[in-house]
Structure 1
Amino acid sequence: MIRFEHVTKRYADGTTAVDDLSFEVAEGELVTLVGPSGCGKTTTMKMVNRLIEPTSGRILLDGQDISAADPVRLRRRIGYVIQQVGLFPHKTVLDNTATVPHLLGAPRAEARARAAELLELVGLDPRKYGPRYPEQLSGGQRQRVGVARALAADPPVLLMDEPFGAVDPVVREHLQNEFLRLQSQVRKTVLLVTHDLEEAVRLGDRIAVYGHGTIEQFDTPATVLGAPATPYVADFVGADRGLKRLSVTTLRRDDLEEAPTLRPGPTAGTPDAPWGVVLDTDGRPTGRFHADDPGRTHPAPPPVPLGASLKDALAALLQDDTGWLPVTDPADGGRYAGVLTPAAVHRALRRARPGTTDDRPAPTDGPAATDTTGDTLSSR
């Protein structure tokens, strides 16, 4: 969708902002550009909508050289979200959002109807917030309106320049979650500039790590964190990059350990095991048992779902003294899938590290995973 071919931007005073950039962003992909101030990431983004013209090289949008396009028409086809939002203070939220469709010739009623749909999509009730003016909104609400306005003309490409940088950390995380939800629905091709590595890792399908006008590494978050391409990248992502990888590594079924289970029904008592999981008749975890307290069951820690990040799973694991968590499979109606332990988290991180293999041993800290009704758990 977006392709840079040997693009350089050099200013009259001899300053080179970007030097011989060549990379491609696939359709529907979210790429984050991250690096220190003055490294050229914002210049890169602004060349896509011709707010800055390159000195040499070509930028292609959907196969077309943008230098041949009318800049105004080009910008109306590209959504643009900036840190300070840039809403018109004299227009209501609804009219702000309807600006681009109206400029493209849509009747006022149609443009406002489209704006109302998008406000709903970004989590703002158009009946409540549509008549308000920007000064009547919080910073996070204004940022949502900015995203809605950028999407109003249904552009194929969305450019975002530090979109969540002007709000506090709690609101920023909430906006990031909302944007990921939104992106899963609309699947725009996105270039997002940020100086925040954690934001880049959390949002990006791929990350471009900038040095000084050049891209030092362009890869998935897991690869950038697990296998930095250069000493510069290793220094930039930090010595705690192993911890950062927790947020980009998802929990899979083959990361889990098996455990004895107990189901309702005629049994000869609890399994001959030090501990295990109690399941209901549908196979969902409801509690736990322990050999030190035979014949009784106790509440289990809240389960985590397959597909959760290891960061969220480890946080849940640390909240409980049990030492393990039941894991459920959302695709199987929330049924039990296995248990997560600290050792399993470590193995999952090793599995996700580029260039390594999962050489974990078979679990040896418990008996075979057979429940007391005689049903052996499926192998993983």
Structure 2
Amino acid sequence: MIRFENVSKRYPDGTLAVDGLDFEVGDGELVTLVGPSGCGKTTTMKMVNRLVEPTGGRILLDGRDITTVAAVALRRGIGYVIQHGGLFPHRTVLDNTATVPALLGWKRAAARARAAELLELVGLDPAVFGSRYPDQLSGGQRQRVGVARALAADPPVLLMDEPFAAVDPVVRERLQSEFLALQAQVRKTVLFVTHDIEEAVRLGDRMAVYGAGRIEQYDSPAAVLGDPASPYVAEFVGADRGLKRLSVTAITPADLDRAPLLRLGEPAAPAAAALGAQGARWAVVLDADGAPHGWVPAADLARGGTVADHTRRMPARVPLGAPLKQALSTMLQHDAGWVAVVDGDRFAGVLTPAALHEALRRSVRAGVPVESVS
């Protein structure tokens, strides 16, 4: 979808901002550009919509040289999201979101209907937020409106310039999660600029690690963390890159341990005897549909009644395919010795600290992601 062919940018004072960029962003791929301030990542992104004109090489968008397209027309066909959302303060949220369709000549009713649809998509009720102005929104809400506006004309490409940098860490993590869920639905081709290695690792299908005006490594986050291409990349991603792989290594069925299983309606005494024969001290309790309802200590079942009478809550659970980081965080949050893993609504198995450690070691040894995760 986007191809850079030996692209450079030199300013009149002789400053070489980017030098000889050669890389490609596939259709529907989210690529993060990460590096220190002044390394050329934002210049790279702005050359795609010609806010900055390259001085050498070519940029192809869906096979077409962008210099053959009028700059204004090119920009109207590319979504653009910046810090704080870049909203017009004098326009309502609905009218801000409808900006590009209106510029493209859509009828007002159609543009506003599309804006309302996109606000729903990013989790903002248009009936509640549509008539508000940007200064009546929180920072996170403004960023959601900025994303909705960028998507309003259904562009194939999104350019995102540190869009979540100006919000607090809690809101930032939530926005990242929401954006990943949104990207899974809309599958846009995205260039995402960030200075935060954690954000680049979490969001990117691939990541470009910048040095001074050049890309030092372009690969999947797991490969960059597992096999840095140079001492510079190793230093930039950090000595704790093995731990960072927790964010890009998914829980798979092979990582799970089987657990003793009981049903809610079972009589307690026979269940206790069955667990005793297995040498099990606890069991996962399933409901009639096979979903985990809770867990029960074997010792409690000796008091009689049914399994349901003794079942305890099981807050420590994560979905199959979630990153190992989520599983570890859940264990620590609930002071749990294991987490239940669910596949949809059904119980898939349990993940123990030992199994988590082995999954991470296997991922580091492989140097590639076990699964793609969101």
TM-score (norm 1): 0.88
Contact 2:102 2:111 in 1 (8 A): yes
Q: Secondary structure at the match of 1:123?
A: coil
Contact 1:269 1:295 in 2 (8 A): no
**Counterpart code for 1:350:** R
Contact 1:160 1:192 in 2 (8 A): yes
Indicate how the Cα distance of structure 1 residues 212 and 322 shifts in structure 2: closer, same or farther if over 3 A, else same.
closer
Indicate how the Cα distance of structure 1 residues 259 and 132 shifts in structure 2: closer, same or farther if over 3 A, else same.
closer
Contact 2:206 2:220 in 1 (8 A): yes
2:338 to 318, 324, 337: 324
Could you tell me which runs of 5 or more consecutive residues in structure 1 were left unpaired when the two chains were aligned: 359-380
| In 1: Cα distance, 2:244 partner to 2:87 partner | 34
Q: Secondary structure at the match of 2:85?
A: coil
**Counterpart code for 2:10:** R
Indicate how the Cα distance of structure 1 residues 125 and 336 shifts in structure 2: closer, same or farther if over 3 A, else same.
closer
| In 2: Cα distance, 1:305 partner to 1:39 partner | 38
Indicate how the Cα distance of structure 1 residues 61 and 283 shifts in structure 2: closer, same or farther if over 3 A, else same.
same
Indicate how the Cα distance of structure 1 residues 278 and 136 shifts in structure 2: closer, same or farther if over 3 A, else same.
closer
Q: Which deviates more, 224-233 or 313-322?
A: 313-322
Indicate how the Cα distance of structure 1 residues 145 and 319 shifts in structure 2: closer, same or farther if over 3 A, else same.
closer
Deviation at 1:294, TM superposition (A): 6.6
Contact 2:98 2:112 in 1 (8 A): yes
Q: Secondary structure at the match of 1:50?
A: coil
Contact 2:32 2:200 in 1 (8 A): yes
User: Cα deviations across residues 79-115 of structure 1 (Å, max 9, x unaligned)?
Assistant: 1111132222221111111111111111111111111
Query: Which residue does the alignment assign to 1:11?
Result: 11
Contact 2:77 2:156 in 1 (8 A): yes
Percent sequence identity over matched residues?
70
Query: Which residue does the alignment assign to 1:278?
Result: 284
Query: Which residue does the alignment assign to 2:33?
Result: 33
Contact 2:226 2:367 in 1 (8 A): no
Could you tell me which runs of 5 or more consecutive residues in structure 2 were left unpaired when the two chains were aligned: 304-309, 370-374
Alignment of 1:1-380 (within 5 A): 1-263=1-263, 264=266, 268-272=273-277, 273-280=279-286, 281-290=288-297, 295=302, 299=312, 301-302=314-315, 303-330=317-344, 334-353=345-364, 355=366
Contact 1:4 1:59 in 2 (8 A): yes
Query: Which residue does the alignment assign to 1:375?
Result: none
User: Cα deviations across residues 107-162 of structure 1 (Å, max 9, x unaligned)?
Assistant: 11111111111111111111221112222222211111111111111111000001
Contact 1:277 1:285 in 2 (8 A): no
Indicate how the Cα distance of structure 1 residues 122 and 294 shifts in structure 2: closer, same or farther if over 3 A, else same.
closer
Q: Secondary structure at the match of 1:57?
A: strand
Indicate how the Cα distance of structure 1 residues 66 and 137 shifts in structure 2: closer, same or farther if over 3 A, else same.
same
Indicate how the Cα distance of structure 1 residues 258 and 20 shifts in structure 2: closer, same or farther if over 3 A, else same.
same
Q: Which deviates more, 267-276 or 77-86?
A: 267-276
Q: CA RMSD of the aligned region, Å?
A: 2.1
Q: Secondary structure at the match of 2:84?
A: coil
| In 2: Cα distance, 1:145 partner to 1:218 partner | 31
User: Cα deviations across residues 203-229 of structure 1 (Å, max 9, x unaligned)?
Assistant: 111111101111111111111112211
| In 1: Cα distance, 2:153 partner to 2:98 partner | 9
| In 1: Cα distance, 2:33 partner to 2:173 partner | 18
**Counterpart code for 2:137:** L
Indicate how the Cα distance of structure 1 residues 179 and 54 shifts in structure 2: closer, same or farther if over 3 A, else same.
same
Indicate how the Cα distance of structure 1 residues 42 and 240 shifts in structure 2: closer, same or farther if over 3 A, else same.
same
Q: Secondary structure at the match of 2:19?
A: strand
Q: How many residues align?
A: 355
Contact 2:226 2:368 in 1 (8 A): no
Query: Which residue does the alignment assign to 1:369?
Result: none
Q: Secondary structure at the match of 2:347?
A: strand
**Counterpart code for 1:348:** A
Q: Which deviates more, 346-355 or 144-153?
A: 346-355
**Counterpart code for 1:275:** R
Contact 1:262 1:276 in 2 (8 A): no
Q: Secondary structure at the match of 2:145?
A: helix
As a proportion of its length, which structure holds more helix?
Answer: 2
Q: Secondary structure at the match of 2:124?
A: coil
Indicate how the Cα distance of structure 1 residues 98 and 311 shifts in structure 2: closer, same or farther if over 3 A, else same.
same
Query: Which residue does the alignment assign to 1:364?
Result: none
Q: Secondary structure at the match of 2:88?
A: coil
**Counterpart code for 2:302:** G
Indicate how the Cα distance of structure 1 residues 293 and 126 shifts in structure 2: closer, same or farther if over 3 A, else same.
closer
Deviation at 1:260, TM superposition (A): 3.4
User: Cα deviations across residues 291-344 of structure 1 (Å, max 9, x unaligned)?
Assistant: 6667365526433221121111111222445522222221xxx33322211110
